[in-house]
A and B are shown apart, each in its own frame.
Chain A
Amino acid sequence: MNLRLLPALLGLALLAGSAAAQEVIKIGEFASLTGGNASFGQESHKGTQLAIDELNAAGGVLGRKLQLITEDDQSAAGQAATAVQKLIAQDKVVALLGEVASSKSLEGAPIAQRNKIPMISPASTNPKVTETGDYIFRVCFIDPFQGTVMAKFALSKGWKKIALLTDVKQDYSVGLAEFFVKYFTANGGTIVRDQKYSSGDKDFRAQLTSVKAASPDAVFLPGYYGEVALIGKQARLLGLTAPFLGGDGWVGESLLPVAAGSLDGSFFSAHFSPDDTRPAVQDFVRRFRAKYKSEPDDMAALGYDSAMILADAIKRAGGTDSAKLRDAIAATKNHPGLTGVITLDAQRNAAKSAVILTIRNGAYKFQESVAP
């Protein structure tokens, strides 16, 4: 073999290699697949993966296949930052999808912003997430809206005395409570007790005893499903019968089995209801069931929407150039998502409606829909 040809051959091989690499579009996903919030990550990942699979089955985007690279942040503080670092530096992803929990998104967002990699959070509702910078987006509504919706709902039920029970370790919970209180107290309601707990706690009898002593009409509990289920159970044992009100953090697979009926008659705001009769939603529910043998929840629907919006933006940007992709995502308008019609506003948040769900006989039931 002529040795002088070797460098040329090597060069050709490299070229071919890079051409093949250009074929796939790498999308990074960071999610809590294990740990305390595992249900969030598992469900949003299922929705995201379903969207990617469907896009690829239909020929991909711009003739290129999509590849979803998923990193688990174990629901642990600090791990989301590591996951995002790895996705950007090693895997060279063109965009990021994640996280559900606001605290985790706030860890990843500054790194995405610094590297100018567009990031779309499926379900982080804390306002600070997109305030991080102009590369950070979300496809869900935000806490001021969610908190206000629940405050309005409580007032409409004639509940004037509310006790708060917030998770001090979660930006999500603290934020939601803040906006709830702002609207509620400005419109004639009073907060009769303000109690707190930390993620991972298992015994809430001390807080609930104090809440019970204040005899509230209802308890606003903007926590995550793991603690909410235990709180519901312990509250009923202590004889606290007031209904609980909460946010989208209630949605998790272990909520209903652990709560075992104790949350019946409670209400929470959510993004999506599988009872929604729109054909697109029913079709999605059918496809999701066929693939995973389970019911999709809010996180699954939001994960699906986030991936679809990203794919749509890549198509409109005509490629994966980060600045062009960012502009294309920002220009998303009237996207027919599963969780409503999504338009991204100047603050890169989705303006869309919320649903209020109630729990009856150990199952979610649609209560009402609230427009923005």
Chain B
Amino acid sequence: MIEFLQQLINGLAQGGIYALIALGYTMVYGVLRFINFAHGDIFMLGAFAGFYVGPAVLRITGLSPSFAAVLLVLPIAMLACALAGMAIERLCYRPLRDRPRLTVLITAIGVSLLLENGGQFVFGASPRSFPELITDRALALPASLGSLATLTITLSQVLVLGVALLLLGGLRQIVGKTRTGLAMRALSLNPTAAQLMGVDLDRIIALTFGLGSALAGAAGILASIQQPSIDPLMGIAAGLKAFVAAVLGGIGSLTGAVVGGLLIGVLEALVVGYLSPTYRDPIVFGVLILILLFRPAGLLGRFQPEKV
């Protein structure tokens, strides 16, 4: 039983990472009806931003590895990724906006390959050791929990879930309560009508890419704190899993992306812990196929029949 609960905790922490990446997929899909396949590589850029900025921040501020260090590096990496995401949108996707959606999709695959191989060229192909921003340790649980006190919850796991939930809350505020958010929702509902009502299409789409990429950047930092070995190809697997999570939760739905991410994380931990890691990827991608066959709108998505 303890082992099972431990696997759940491990899965939720990994799922938090998937959830943050999945949010970006889902937001871009919401406004553009297009899957940004380069999104997983933004996650990788976030990790490398932390790799270069982290030691500099520690040196300049004289901080030892701590929460404060994470809180300083996190926004810098998020900003870097937001700029990268917006630049990619401006240079690669905007010129193609009136072309068939397939053209943009193929361009996204091209951008993804460019970032992966360009990353190997610029950062080097070997795995790098991520700087220690916070000393990870197991948290002492109160003995009053009885046998549950033998569970291990690490600082980084709490950090991942905490930051993921905070960012989700912030995102819901932006989308639900601000004028920009209103414009995003309007665009997602009916782009033509939204533009007629004075919504600045270019600006809103750029902001959507910026927000989504910032979340992927945060995920890059959080994942690297948990698993301090980073390389330019680390975004491929994480990006694909997060894509499955977004589809599972219902693409276009923010809460769905988070629920999907956590579910995929837990599913992976259980498969690896009780079956074998060789079944992990077949089962995760099997879920994608089943969802597409039987519930294409996902768990929390609205089914929108094509209007003829």
B137 contacts the other chain (CB 8 A): yes
Supposing A35-B125, A196-B277, A197-B277 touch, asked if A203 and B6 sit within 8 A by C-beta, the answer is no
B271 (CB) vs chain A CBs: closest residue = A206
Query: B85-93, B126-134, B293-301: which lies at the A interface?
Result: B126-134
Q: List A residues at the B interface (Cβ < 8 Å).
A: 34-36, 38-39, 74, 168, 196-198, 200-203, 205-207, 209-210, 213, 226, 229-230, 233-234, 237-239, 254, 257-258, 260
Interface residue from A34, A206, A238, A257 paired with B138 (Cβ < 8 Å): A238
- A207 & B272 in contact (Cβ 8 Å cutoff): yes
- A213 & B278 in contact (Cβ 8 Å cutoff): no
Supposing A35-B125, A237-B152, A257-B129 touch, asked if A198 and B138 sit within 8 A by C-beta, the answer is no
Interface residue from A168, A206, A254, A260 paired with B10 (Cβ < 8 Å): A206
- A198 & B14 in contact (Cβ 8 Å cutoff): no
- A205 & B269 in contact (Cβ 8 Å cutoff): yes
Query: Which one of B11, B223, B229, B278 has the highest number of Cβ atoms from chain A below 10 Å of its Cβ?
Result: B229
Bound CA–CA A229/B229 (angstroms)? 9
- Chain B residues within an 8 Å CB radius of A205: 10, 13-14, 269
Interface residue from B132, B227, B272, B278 paired with A206 (Cβ < 8 Å): B272
Supposing A237-B137, A237-B152, A237-B154 touch, asked if A196 and B276 sit within 8 A by C-beta, the answer is yes
Closest 5 pairs (CB-CB, A-B):
A34-B125, A205-B10, A206-B272, A38-B126, A202-B227
Bound CA–CA A35/B232 (angstroms)? 10
- A260 & B277 in contact (Cβ 8 Å cutoff): no
- B273 & A209 in contact (Cβ 8 Å cutoff): yes
- B229 & A230 in contact (Cβ 8 Å cutoff): yes
- Chain B residues within an 8 Å CB radius of A206: 7, 10-11, 268-270, 272-273
A198–chain B nearest beta-carbon distance, Å = 6
Bound CA–CA A325/B122 (angstroms)? 42
Supposing A206-B10, A209-B7, A237-B137 touch, asked if A34 and B154 sit within 8 A by C-beta, the answer is no
Interface residue from B120, B136, B229 paired with A202 (Cβ < 8 Å): B229
- A254 & B2 in contact (Cβ 8 Å cutoff): no
Task: Pull 8 A–B residue pairs with CB atoms less than 8 Å apart, ordered by A.
Answer: A36-B127, A36-B231, A168-B276, A202-B234, A203-B14, A206-B11, A230-B229, A254-B229
Query: Which one of A39, A196, A205 has the highest number of Cβ atoms from chain B below 10 Å of its Cβ?
Result: A205
Q: List B residues at the A interface (Cβ < 8 Å).
A: 2-3, 6-7, 10-11, 13-14, 120, 124-129, 132, 136-138, 152, 154, 223, 226-229, 231, 234, 237, 268-270, 272-274, 276-278
- B277 & A254 in contact (Cβ 8 Å cutoff): no
Bound CA–CA A38/B120 (angstroms)? 13
- A210 & B273 in contact (Cβ 8 Å cutoff): yes
Bound CA–CA A233/B149 (angstroms)? 21
- Chain B residues within an 8 Å CB radius of A233: 228
Supposing A39-B126, A205-B10 touch, asked if A210 and B269 sit within 8 A by C-beta, the answer is no
- Chain A residues within an 8 Å CB radius of B269: 205-206
B116–chain A nearest beta-carbon distance, Å = 12
- Chain A residues within an 8 Å CB radius of B270: 206
Bound CA–CA A258/B228 (angstroms)? 7
Bound CA–CA A200/B234 (angstroms)? 9
Bound CA–CA A234/B227 (angstroms)? 8
B267–chain A nearest beta-carbon distance, Å = 11
- Chain B residues within an 8 Å CB radius of A209: 3, 6-7, 10, 273
Bound CA–CA A237/B7 (angstroms)? 14
- A196 & B229 in contact (Cβ 8 Å cutoff): no
B34–chain A nearest beta-carbon distance, Å = 29
Query: Which one of A206, A207, A234 has the highest number of Cβ atoms from chain B below 10 Å of its Cβ?
Result: A206
Interface residue from A39, A203, A239 paired with B227 (Cβ < 8 Å): A203
Bound CA–CA A60/B67 (angstroms)? 59
A79–chain B nearest beta-carbon distance, Å = 12
Bound CA–CA A254/B128 (angstroms)? 8
- B228 & A237 in contact (Cβ 8 Å cutoff): no
Query: Which one of A39, A203, A226 has the highest number of Cβ atoms from chain B below 10 Å of its Cβ?
Result: A203
